[in-house]
Amino acid sequence: MKKTLFCLFIALVCLLTVAGCTGGEREDTAKSGYEIEFSLEENTLNCRQTVDFVNVYSDGLREIKFNLYMNAYAEDAVDKAYATPLKTYGGTEITALKINGNDASFTLSENKLSFSVPVDSLKLGDRAEIYMEYTVTLPECDLRTGYSDGYYNLSNFYPQIAVYGEEGFLSDAYSAVGDPILSDVADFSVKATFDEHLVAATPALGTETIAEGKKTISIRAENIRDFAMVLSDKFLCETVSDENLTVYYFHDGNEESAERASLALDVLKTFSSVFGDYPYDTFTVASTPFAEEGMEFSGLVYIDNLTTDFEKTLIHETAHQWWYNLVGNDNVREGWLDEGLTTFSTAYYYSLKGDEETFTEEIKSIRRSYALYERSQKLRGDKGALNINVDIYSCTDYQYGMLAYNKSCLLFADLYEKAGKEKFEKALSYYVDDNRFRRADSTSLADAFGKAMNCDVTGIIDGWLSDKAVVTTFA
């Protein structure tokens, strides 16, 4: 009775607040665009890139900042992309830069992970064209970017427009824990040339030509948060289509390739029916050496080719097409938003397929694992290690897994229990609709659930995020 009254009161406050401040539908924002042309020679990418930058952030920008994530793979990197030594190291060297057709200089940050280019004052909606030439040395490793055992993982290799926050452009330090990479949605045209024996797994269909032993592919991908591709001479491709969607599964001869491609298609269709449509007409799954099971990019995922749990890794990375790609968030400071929701969605897929037992068991297993962690932290007297609301630099890999994945998943399981299936799904579809191709935050999440549940859920969310011990049972 008390709870209902509280909810009704809050609902009234919400209604009054919303009525007082909405100004109708938000307009679609303009996007920046990338044209990238590169050739792969040995383990080097020779690149030319033109960025059509549009200021959607604020008026009066006097500089544009780009992240140079490849420098985190350098041997002397201050903020490293790797936790253990690499076989060989990488980096980026910028050899030419023009702004609006004129030669320009740039300022490299102290940790070499970003650079700024000066621009004439750019007001909201103004554009600038930044042309650059650069060389990328690929490290030998099985991380986001690098070559290993005949595979080339190519992500974040290009200078990437830094996202703009309340305090200007964000250029966060790299970290081997969590996902330190932030980006806004843009359009990409990519032309890549490489040895004709290599097969390309790309996030969109392209055209392909072969001449003098070299293959050149041209790809256009719109509304993507990042551009990634994988090359290998070992790749075979399994294709499965349904109406307007095609899945490409690149593998090295896996006997279950047809089932795996069909699973990917089924996961996309299942999540589309609950969260909102998958935004592209292709989805690419690349089995490739990758140190951490799987990695999500726009329209493409890596799955480690030695994974012992292909199914759950695939479901997890596919769920990121909604929680990371379609709805972005600040992975550095609020990584729990996409990882927790993705972990819950992975378990929830089984419920959506009618397998309640697996769904319940998955959540129970996550609860048990987190409860053990919580108990050990309490015994150590380290209450702070229960707080989800921390950035990736404050956690060990183990803590980050327990907080951003497991504890956060339990937050969503709690919301599911409190809201019930119908309102929970409605909340997630509001969350997608209201933040489509943008970056959401914990307030956006509370807003979506508040709207669906007709009550203020801020207290519930804050309780889970805080350092309060919340899991008291191992059941």
What is the contact surface with Zn ion in residues (CB under 5 A)?
339, 342
The distance of closest approach from Cβ of residue 391 to Zn ion in the complex, given in angstroms and rounded to an integer, is: 17
Q: Which residues of 401-411 are buried (b: 16+ CB within 10 A; e: fewer)?
A: bbbbbbbbbbb
Q: How far is the CB of 297 from Zn ion (least distance, A)?
A: 12
Cβ distance to Zn ion smaller for residue 287 or 345? 345
Residue 323: C-alpha distances to residues 151, 158, 400 (Å):
27, 23, 17
CB-wise, 122 or 432, nearer to Zn ion?
432
Closer CB to Zn ion, residue 183 or residue 342?
A: 342
Q: Give the phi and the psi of residue 265 in degrees, each rounded to 5.
A: -65, -40
- Closer residue to Zn ion (CB): 297 or 416: 297
At 177, list the tokens. Answer: 């824990």
> Smaller CB distance to Zn ion: residue 49 or 284?
284
Would you say the C-alpha torsion 103, 109, 114, 120 has a positive or negative sign? Answer: negative
Shortest distance (Å) from residue 312 CB to Zn ion: 11
* Nearer CB in complex with Zn ion: 342/442: 342
CA torsion 291-271-336-158 (nearest 10°) is 50
What are the backbone angles phi and psi of residue 412, rounded to the nearest 5°? -70, -35
What region, left, alpha or beta, does residue 262 occupy, with left being phi > 0 and alpha being psi -120 to 50 degrees? alpha
Integer Cα distance of 177 and 446 in angstroms: 26
φ and ψ at 84, to 5 degrees?
A: -125, 160
Minimum Å gap between C-beta 410 and Zn ion is 16
C-beta of 230: minimal distance to Zn ion in Å? 18
| Shortest distance (Å) from residue 402 CB to Zn ion | 14
Q: Phi-psi bin for 42: left (phi > 0), alpha (psi -120 to 50), beta?
A: left
